[in-house]
Amino acid sequence: MPDTTRTTATDEWYARAQAVLPAGTFGNVAGQTILREGRAGRVWDEDGNEYVDFLIGSGPMLVGHCHPEVDDAVKEQLERGTTFFATNTHGIELAEMICDAVACAEKVRFASSGTEADMYAMRLVRAFRGREKILKFEGGYHGMSDHALMSLAPTRLANFPNPVPDSAGITESTSDSMLVAPFNDIDSAVKLINENADELAGVIVEPLQRLMPPQPGFLEALREATAKHGIPLIFDEVVTGFRLAYGGAQEAYGVVPDVCTLGKAIGGGFPLSAIAGRDDIMAHFDKARVGDDKFMMQVGTLSGNPIAAAAGLKTLEILRRPGAYEGAAATGNAIMQAITEHFSTTRIPFQVVGHWSMFDIVFTDQPVHDYRAVFHSDKSRLARFNELLRERGVLKSDNKFYVSHAHDEADIAHTIAAVKHAADVMGKEA
């Protein structure tokens, strides 16, 4: 259990961070969280406090920190070179593995981050269709590009399909090329696709948006409506790829898009992402096939980096072993059940939302099917829940548990005890 009293090491490092980093952080989690190391399903901070880790690097450490097989693969490549800015065999093998696993993947192009992959995917369908507008869904996260930062987490709710910029510095003209629909609303999405079919370059969606699973028929309706008009459907699987199942959300939900983006797990903890899709669409990365006018330039110094590719290859090899997903599912389901059981003894309204691989508690008495349900939930209670878990040695993001395949029975028992403590305390405070 961590010492909740601020100690010298954290104080000193945070002061140094504030001197050189805006807000004293990298922009991800609070600056007072300064981690030193991770092993399997746990991490330690600079004061030596130990936590069961449900942050897991915001998802990439799907097989756990410092997995010995992944480490060995990385060490072997380190002795041969760290980057080449040229095609390498690990990257080719990883592309082959992705094409074998992911239903829509006929060709693959690597990048270094999920932001890049999503940005290129949207640009790719514009090149393919010769049109500009992209339809996305309110609350959907597609990285940090200007177009992606439209109605990701708006604090001002606008009428659909008008987008709301989430950041300063985004040009007004960006709004003109984006349409926004409510997630899980079949009628609204199909109506927007039909009404704007002549202007749409593509539709991009997280098949499981943040924590919210698709309602029955929602993804199928998107697939049918886009196919009817020849509009590419993009699944953003940066998070869900190789997480919901080995073949990602496409396997889990049985719906195949035209293009998908991948990240997190495929780099095994190193910077790597990918755009994968139909050969005729991916052809726009190949000038010899499409000519100068339709060629889409994409260059990245670290794209397909051999160390990241080696780590990704070994990670995917581990994930496809028998029983890998069954064990992780048991972990996630046990914690979800514990949250439900212990908070049901309180008077606090709540919903446990998500999939066994990533989920959280949302403090509301309303069904959670879209962004606005989360927007209107009690975020102060969620912050209190996170605080109480952390006091008991459980680390998670502000709004998500990420399950690692490395979490063991001791991690589960520790987490369930922390959940019970949080429910007891919050129940008395209610």
CATH number at residue 194: 3.40.640.10
User: Active-site residue 198, yes or no?
Assistant: no
Domain stops at, among 319, 347, 364: 319
Same domain, 309 and 185: yes
Please determine, for residue 320, whether its predicted confidence score (pLDDT) is greater than 60: yes
- Of 53, 236, 360, 370, the catalytic one is 236
Same domain, 333 and 264: no
pLDDT tens digits, residue range 99-151? 999 999 999 999 999 999 999 999 999 999 999 999 999 999 999 999 999 99
Q: What percent of the chain has pLDDT over 70?
A: 98
- Minimal CA–CA distance to 113: which of 86, 142, 93? 142
- Of 141, 246, 253, 371, the catalytic one is 141
Same domain, 202 and 344: no
- Minimal CA–CA distance to 373: which of 183, 163, 148? 183
Identify whether the C-beta of residue 410 lies closer than 8 Å to the C-beta of residue 328: no
User: 25: exposed, middle or buried (C-beta count within 10 Å: 0-12, 13-18, 19+)?
Assistant: middle
Residue 365 falls inside a structural domain = yes
pLDDT tens digits, residue range 64-83? 999 999 999 999 999 999 99
Same domain, 279 and 331: no
Residue 2 falls inside a structural domain = no
Residue 1 falls inside a structural domain = no
What average pLDDT does range 328-337 have in this prediction? 98
User: Active-site residue 118, yes or no?
Assistant: no
Same domain, 168 and 277: yes
Query: Residue 87 sits in which domain range?
Result: 68-319
Residue 3 falls inside a structural domain = no
- Of 133, 264, 396, 400, the catalytic one is 264
Residue with tokens 């990285």: 143
What average pLDDT does range 256-269 have in this prediction? 97
Q: What is the pLDDT of residue 256?
A: 98
What global pTM score does this model have? 0.96
Which CATH number fits the domain that encloses residue 413? 3.90.1150.10
Identify whether the C-beta of residue 119 lies closer than 8 Å to the C-beta of residue 162: no
Q: What is the mean pLDDT of the chain?
A: 96
What average pLDDT does range 211-225 have in this prediction? 97
User: Could you check whether the bond before residue 161 is cis, i.e. omega within 30 degrees of 0?
Assistant: yes
Residue 26 falls inside a structural domain = yes
pLDDT tens digits, residue range 2-55? 555 545 798 899 999 999 999 999 988 877 889 999 999 999 999 999 999 999
Residue 360 falls inside a structural domain = yes
Same domain, 281 and 340: no
Q: Enumerate residues 6+ apart whose C-beta is below 8 A from 261.
A: 114, 117, 118, 121, 234, 235, 236, 237, 238, 241, 273, 274, 275, 276
Confidence of residue 273 (pLDDT cuts 50, 70, 90): very high
Q: What is the pLDDT of residue 1?
A: 56
Q: What is the pLDDT of residue 5?
A: 54
Confidence of residue 371 (pLDDT cuts 50, 70, 90): very high
The span from the CA of 133 to the CA of 147, in Å, is 10
Residue 57 falls inside a structural domain = yes
What average pLDDT does range 281-306 have in this prediction? 96
Q: What is the pLDDT of residue 296?
A: 96
Domain stops at, among 268, 299, 319: 319
Identify whether the C-beta of residue 311 lies closer than 8 Å to the C-beta of residue 73: yes
What average pLDDT does range 377-401 have in this prediction? 97
Distances from the Cα of 255 to the Cαs of 102, 221, 234, 272, 368, in angstroms? 11, 10, 11, 25, 22
> How does strand 42-45 pair with strand 401-402?
unpaired
Number of compact structural domains in the chain: 2
Same domain, 52 and 80: no
Same domain, 288 and 364: no
User: Active-site residue 264, yes or no?
Assistant: yes
Identify whether the C-beta of residue 252 lies closer than 8 Å to the C-beta of residue 262: no
Same domain, 177 and 309: yes
Distances from the Cα of 281 to the Cαs of 48, 202, 296, 361, in angstroms? 50, 12, 11, 39
Same domain, 37 and 116: no
Domain stops at, among 287, 319, 351: 319
Same domain, 250 and 329: no
What the block records as the tokens of 225 is 């409506």
Same domain, 243 and 336: no
